[in-house]
Structure 1
Amino acid sequence: MVEVGKYNTLKVLRAVDFGVFLDDSKEGILLPKRFMPANLKPGDEITVFIYHDSEDRLIATTQKPYGIVGDIVPLKAVSVTKQGAFLDWGLMKDIFVPKSKQLMAMREGGTYIVKIYIDEQTGRVAATEKIEPFLSNDTLTVREKEIVDLIVYRRTDIGYTVIINGKHTGVLHFNEIYRNIQVGDTMKGFIKTIREENKIDVALGVPGYNRVGGEAGKILGLLEAAGGFLPYHDKSDPDDIYAHFAMSKKTFKMAIGQLFKQKQIEITDHGIRLPGQK
């Protein structure tokens, strides 16, 4: 069966001037021509995302939404009506958040953390800001040192509450943060500690970096947060180094020298990077 709001691999039934119809065991689902890869023909199989168009018909696309049914994601509001808000989720048609599924009135331009679901009455993909019932630490699916996906959920007195893998909540303490972050940011991290009552502390980066203390650990955290590369090295301007790392050039050079000797980073003519990064 075709799963609405998710990726499906379907066979091409027939071609028409405006696209192809994909086999759904019924009359077929249209994949518009503008989303077709070159040379797609009847009998081929293709992986597509299925959702309802503005006329309530199932339609296929090769566009990739920012989230599928079951995901918790930060999305930006592009328009607001009396009935609810429409959020940009990466497709031509925006996703709808009913007024009853909002915590407070959404505003155009705001970013909101929502869960994507199927509305039982309409069968359409929709979103809700009321995600607390979907988050629980009663039964954990993660363990210490495991790399996880994090969404910054809210700021607290000790750091930030984060959503872990769309299932659990944890705390990212202020002393573990090496760059500016804000609610809605997504990033990689790892489970640092699981405490009593399944309370979780997380850290940015990957396990092992926490063994490198002080300024070296800070540089590794910033590197990981930047995707593995930063355009700074021992010949960079001292003011640029201080602005990004909040440390002197001398301290920076000593720290990257330590990391290089430990084979935790590579130093190039253009900057520093994690091993294996391009």
Structure 2
Amino acid sequence: MVHIGKFNHLEIVNQVPFGFYLDGGELGQILLPTNTAPQGCKQGDWLDVFIYHDSDDRIIATTKNPRAQVDQCAYLKVVSVNNVGAFLDWGLEKDLLVPYSEQDYPMSEGISYVVYLFCDEETNRIAASTRLRDFLPEVATEFEPKQEVSLLICGRTDMGYKAIINGAYLGLIFKDEVFKPIKIGYKLPGFIKRIREDGKIDLCFQFHDTNARGSLAEQIIEDLIAHGGLSTLTDKSPAEEITKRFNVSKSAYKKAIGGLFKQKRILLDKNKITLIDKTK
């Protein structure tokens, strides 16, 4: 069975002056134009080809690699907008349509968006959508805390950033877990922080276990010693300043200085941290 919007392994069954015809099973013979056919290929060869509709709405094959396939997400730029919808550059001759019905909000030319590619069941045509929640679940049982995952940043909220997990689920990174500049479209490694009672997924970029916090605590002590026992970098300081000095999130820094305070190694003030001199 040939899958539109994906790569298929098909046999060349006929050669014509303008290309090669492939055995498309129920879809009949599918043209592979000469300009994308491998040099030296011939009838009887098997090729890996991507199947989609060309500008004339014919099912066609190509050996070019699109930036995403059906059932995948990608960060793509809008190259034009008309009365049908927005069109994205996905690396093929025919641009990819995002119908107005699949836009969470109006899309603008020249701007990139994270979209999900799907094949319309009625027309067999490939389209894309910014309505990610219609295709990707936010509830999962297959993940565990501390599990490493791949993330695609796909949106921003008042609480933090939304991210696509392993290309298949939606999760949330809270603001206090963001310790370096990130933007929509960034692909980053991350971790499952926790699975909430409602099954939704919280994420983080670093999983701060006891050993990690201990190491950070010693870095803070060394920093205090280097600055005469005083630091103005408190738990009220901007996250950017904390990251710049220790390369950790504000949340991790707060936990580390909280541990040092409980150990009576530092004094905490609204505007400063003071190292307790154990020699007195």
Please report the TM-score for the alignment, with normalisation by the length of structure 1: 0.70
Partner of 2:142 in structure 1?
141
Partner of 2:197 in structure 1?
196
Which segments of 5 or more consecutive residues in structure 2 lack a partner in the other structure? 217-240, 247-280
How far has the Cα of 1:209 moved from its partner? 9.2
Change (3 A) 1:102 1:33: same
Change (3 A) 1:19 1:80: same
Q: Calculate the aligned-residue CA RMSD, in Å.
A: 2.9
Alpha-carbon contact 2:150-2:190 (below 8 Å) kept: yes
Tell me how far apart the structure 2 counterparts of residues 43 and 147 of structure 1 sit (CA, whole Å): 44
Bigger drift between 103-112 and 133-142 goes to: 133-142
How far has the Cα of 1:214 moved from its partner? 8.8
* 2:13 alignment partner AA: L
* 1:65 alignment partner AA: P
How far has the Cα of 1:84 moved from its partner? 0.8
Partner of 2:4 in structure 1?
4
Tell me how far apart the structure 2 counterparts of residues 172 and 79 of structure 1 sit (CA, whole Å): 32
Alpha-carbon contact 1:191-1:203 (below 8 Å) kept: yes
How far has the Cα of 1:8 moved from its partner? 0.5
Partner of 2:39 in structure 1?
38
Change (3 A) 1:27 1:72: closer
How far has the Cα of 1:179 moved from its partner? 2.8
Residues 47-72 of structure 1 show CA distances to partners (whole Å, capped at 9, x for unaligned) of: 11100101111111111112211122
Alpha-carbon contact 2:136-2:169 (below 8 Å) kept: yes
Say yes or no: does 1:161 pair with 2:186: no
Tell me how far apart the structure 2 counterparts of residues 170 and 127 of structure 1 sit (CA, whole Å): 20
Partner of 2:82 in structure 1?
81
Say yes or no: does 1:174 pair with 2:172: no
Which segments of 5 or more consecutive residues in structure 1 lack a partner in the other structure? 217-242, 249-278
Tell me how far apart the structure 2 counterparts of residues 123 and 155 of structure 1 sit (CA, whole Å): 32
Tell me how far apart the structure 1 counterparts of residues 179 and 215 of structure 2 sit (CA, whole Å): 10
Determine helix, strand or coil for the equivalent of 1:13.
strand
Partner of 2:22 in structure 1?
22
In the TM superposition, structure 1's runs of 4+ consecutive aligned residues that sit over 6 Å from their partners are 207-210
* 1:246 alignment partner AA: K
Alpha-carbon contact 2:140-2:201 (below 8 Å) kept: no
Partner of 1:64 in structure 2?
65
Tell me how far apart the structure 2 counterparts of residues 105 and 20 of structure 1 sit (CA, whole Å): 40
Tell me how far apart the structure 2 counterparts of residues 36 and 246 of structure 1 sit (CA, whole Å): 51
Tell me how far apart the structure 1 counterparts of residues 212 and 15 of structure 2 sit (CA, whole Å): 59
* 1:90 alignment partner AA: G
Change (3 A) 1:118 1:168: same
Partner of 1:246 in structure 2?
244
Determine helix, strand or coil for the equivalent of 1:34.
helix
Change (3 A) 1:112 1:209: farther
Partner of 1:93 in structure 2?
94
Tell me how far apart the structure 1 counterparts of residues 20 and 32 of structure 2 sit (CA, whole Å): 5
Alpha-carbon contact 1:140-1:168 (below 8 Å) kept: no
Partner of 2:111 in structure 1?
110
Q: Percent identity?
A: 42
Tell me how far apart the structure 2 counterparts of residues 107 and 136 of structure 1 sit (CA, whole Å): 27
Residues 67-106 of structure 1 show CA distances to partners (whole Å, capped at 9, x for unaligned) of: 2111222221100001211011121211111122212221
Alpha-carbon contact 1:10-1:45 (below 8 Å) kept: yes
Alpha-carbon contact 2:163-2:170 (below 8 Å) kept: yes
Could you say which structure has the larger radius of gyration? 2
Tell me how far apart the structure 2 counterparts of residues 80 and 210 of structure 1 sit (CA, whole Å): 52
Tell me how far apart the structure 2 counterparts of residues 39 and 23 of structure 1 sit (CA, whole Å): 19
Partner of 1:13 in structure 2?
13
Partner of 2:123 in structure 1?
122
Determine helix, strand or coil for the equivalent of 1:132.
helix
Tell me how far apart the structure 2 counterparts of residues 146 and 14 of structure 1 sit (CA, whole Å): 50
